[in-house]
Amino acid sequence: MPEIALTDSFAESKRLLKSKDHQPFSMAEQYRIIGKRLGVDFSPTIRLLETLPVFLHGSRHADVRRSMAINLSAAREPQECAAQQIVDGLPELLAPGRSVDLIEDFIRPLRNAMFVHNGTSFTIDQDLSDKATKLFDDRSRLKERMETNERLREFIESEPNTADQRLIVLGQNVLGATPLIGSMGLSLHAVFSANLGKSLKNTSYPKRYPVSAVPSTDRILTLDSGHADADSHQATRCVLHSKGYSREENDEMFFGMGEHACLGRPIANAVWSMVTTKLASLDVTILSSNLTMETDMPETREDYLAMTVLFIRPRSLKVEIGP
């Protein structure tokens, strides 16, 4: 792995994300190195990673992104319908006197309902999608990575003729699942915490997610860029979402930018609008909002730098509802 430097400057992060001289890490190459050192065949994992645009550049990136864009366009209408059905259950879920875990009882079912309707003839096991997201998280244990690798092998070999298409759909789910759950959970917690005891009907809701579950992404200087320091392989962790940014800056950077901007932006924004519109119709109050994280967040800059890709994963969002 190259040395990683952190920039929390909005202007510099934006510049690097749009720069043609910088590209993402090849996470597949990292698994080739690990596999060679340990004598483990990580080819199923590598094959999946080479369908994730966040780790690709050049023609392969363009081809995969084009395929995902077609799938997501076809998925938009059925996903919105599926999401609306779950959102329409909020009045019953948030009835006065109830105590609810919104991650377990609302956000995960919302995610699952949407991802069943992925615009193709393939339905992907959500458990496999969830496990696959941890393949590029430095906090994951080797045993866990190897188990997921074998599940991917079974997934590929079960229907070899459709493996490439199914991997594209799995890749969409991998890139969308954790950010959707995390951003929705963190954002609802932020809104509720700022308005405890206030009627949801009289609460002001931001037009966009106020908090992101994807606070950073990495860019590495390419060897053919012509820069004098290209041989250093220096990589920069670009901050996408920060308390130090203005609201406008966070909104602009929320889904990334340039050729790697998130393809799921339209459906993600549509779902946030559905949820906040429904909440604004409810004449109940949130008495308490307690967020628990799945894994501890790093407390120091050094810990933050040690992570290759960081998704913030809320474990639960427990709220108590009053009249």
What domains can be seen in the chain, in order of their start residue? 4-322 (1.10.630.10)
The confidence score (pLDDT) of residue 258 equals 87
pLDDT tens per residue, the chain (323 residues)? 567 888 889 999 999 999 888 888 888 998 999 999 999 999 999 999 999 999 999 999 999 999 999 999 999 999 999 999 999 999 999 999 999 999 999 999 999 999 888 756 677 888 999 899 989 887 788 999 999 999 999 999 999 999 999 999 999 999 988 899 999 999 999 999 999 999 999 999 999 999 999 989 989 887 554 443 434 467 898 999 998 999 999 999 999 988 899 999 999 999 999 999 999 999 999 999 999 987 655 556 666 665 565 688 899 999 999 99
- 254 contacts 271 by C-beta, under 8 angstroms: no
Write out the H or E segment, with its range, that includes residue 145.
Answer: helix 142-158
The confidence score (pLDDT) of residue 306 equals 58
State the DSSP code for 197.
T
Residue length of the chain? 323
In the sheet with 4-7, reading across from the earlier edge strand, the strands are 4-7, 235-239, 216-221, 22-23
Question: CA 56 from chain center: how many Å?
Answer: 16
The confidence score (pLDDT) of residue 296 equals 59
Give the integer Cα–Cα distance in Å for 136 and 51.
13
The confidence score (pLDDT) of residue 52 equals 94
Q: How buried is residue 59: exposed, middle or buried, by Cβ count under 10 Å (0-12/13-18/19+)?
A: exposed
Give the integer Cα–Cα distance in Å for 306 and 5.
10
Q: Which of 164, 185, 104, 171 is nearest to 132 (CA)?
A: 171
Give the integer Cα–Cα distance in Å for 304 and 310.
9
Q: Which of 195, 215, 197 is nearest to 276 (CA)?
A: 195
pTM of structure: 0.90
Instruction: Classify 58 in phi/psi space as left (phi over 0), alpha (psi -120 to 50) or beta.
Output: left
The DSSP secondary structure of 66-131, one letter per residue, reads HHHHHHHHHHHHHHHHHHHHHHTTHHHHT-TT-EEEHIIIIIHHHHHHHHH--SSS----HHHHHH
Number of CB atoms found within 10 A of residue 20's CB: 10
The confidence score (pLDDT) of residue 228 equals 37
With b for 16 or more beta-carbon neighbours within 10 A and e for fewer, the 274-311 pattern comes to bbbebbeebebbbbebebeeeeeeeeeeeebeebbbbb
- 172 contacts 267 by C-beta, under 8 angstroms: no
Residues facing 288 on adjacent strands: 320
Q: Look at the block and give the residue holding tokens 């429904």.
A: 278
The confidence score (pLDDT) of residue 307 equals 59
The confidence score (pLDDT) of residue 231 equals 41
Name the pairing type of β-strands 99-101 and 22-23.
Answer: unpaired
